[in-house]
Amino acid sequence: MKDKHTHKHVDASDTLPEVLRVNSYILPEGYFEDLQQRILQRCRHIEDSQAAFVVPEGYFEQLENSTVAKLIEQKLKAVVADPGLSVPPAYFVDLTERLLATQKLNEHVSETGFTVPSSYFGTLQNSISRQTTTREEIIPIRKISRPRWMFYAAAACVALMISIAGLFRLADDSQPIAGPLASVSDQDILNYLELYGTAGDVVYISEHLDDFDGGYIGEGLSEEDIEAYLNHTL
């Protein structure tokens, strides 16, 4: 078997090919120790290169607004040539003096004089929420107050009407009962007593019938006497 990969020099002896048979490729020192770290670096490099071509979240949703904003910005730049920022006159002349004055002031004054109240940021969200939330509008109901003299006048009118009605009723009740009895004939009274009265009443009236010629039956009797008689007989 002939070795095709052995280089034989013309002037070399027969022992030269044995030397050349040694492997000329050797591993660097610490190759396997650094192999893992190099592989991780290559993997991270690949991931970073892939992430560079990823579309940001919400890119297409904001694309229209950003494009319109850039167009408006270009139009404003075309219309307004002056950026609107100008240096005040003698600004750089007095700049050194102002800086020195500010530095001296800071050396003597350590505080600005502006302090934040305690728990300001803790209650800031609640205060903003109270001011921004819509409150229900309360429409006040206006009550029409009546003068107090109207109540007194109404009470006086009612009392006056009750008094007048009581007077008329008292006048009607105080009329003599003899009026209705005067219209009743003596014979009717006798007939009533015969039916409902006692024997003594009939005898008494028959004996004193002549005494009533000058007046009417029942004259001189009070309301209490008539009521007592009716309660006793009925």
Predicted TM-score (pTM) of this structure: 0.20
* Residue 118 belongs to some domain of the structure: no
* Residue 110 belongs to some domain of the structure: no
Residues 6+ apart with CB under 8 A from 196: 233, 234
The whole-number pLDDT of residue 168 equals: 73
- How many Å apart are CA 75 and CA 69, to the nearest integer? 10
* Residue 136 belongs to some domain of the structure: no
Q: What residues make up the domain containing 69?
A: 34-82
Q: Are residues 153 and 77 in the same domain?
A: no
Could you read off the pLDDT of 26-64 as tens digits, one per residue? 788 888 888 888 888 888 877 766 666 777 788 888 888
Q: Are residues 209 and 185 in contact, defined by beta-carbon separation less than 8 angstroms?
A: no
* Residue 178 belongs to some domain of the structure: yes
* Residue 169 belongs to some domain of the structure: yes
* Residue 161 belongs to some domain of the structure: yes
As a whole number of Å, the CA-based R_g of the chain is 67
Could you read off the pLDDT of 113-132 as tens digits, one per residue? 678 788 888 888 888 888 77
* Residue 175 belongs to some domain of the structure: yes
Q: Are residues 78 and 154 in the same domain?
A: no
> Among residues of the chain, what percentage have pLDDT more than 70?
50
- How many Å apart are CA 136 and CA 148, to the nearest integer? 35
Number of domains in the chain: 2
| Choice between 71 and 136, residue whose per-residue pLDDT is larger | 71
The whole-number pLDDT of residue 150 equals: 64
Q: Which of 193, 214, 188 is nearest to 204 (CA)?
A: 193
* Residue 200 belongs to some domain of the structure: yes
Could you read off the pLDDT of 184-202 as tens digits, one per residue? 666 776 666 666 655 555 5
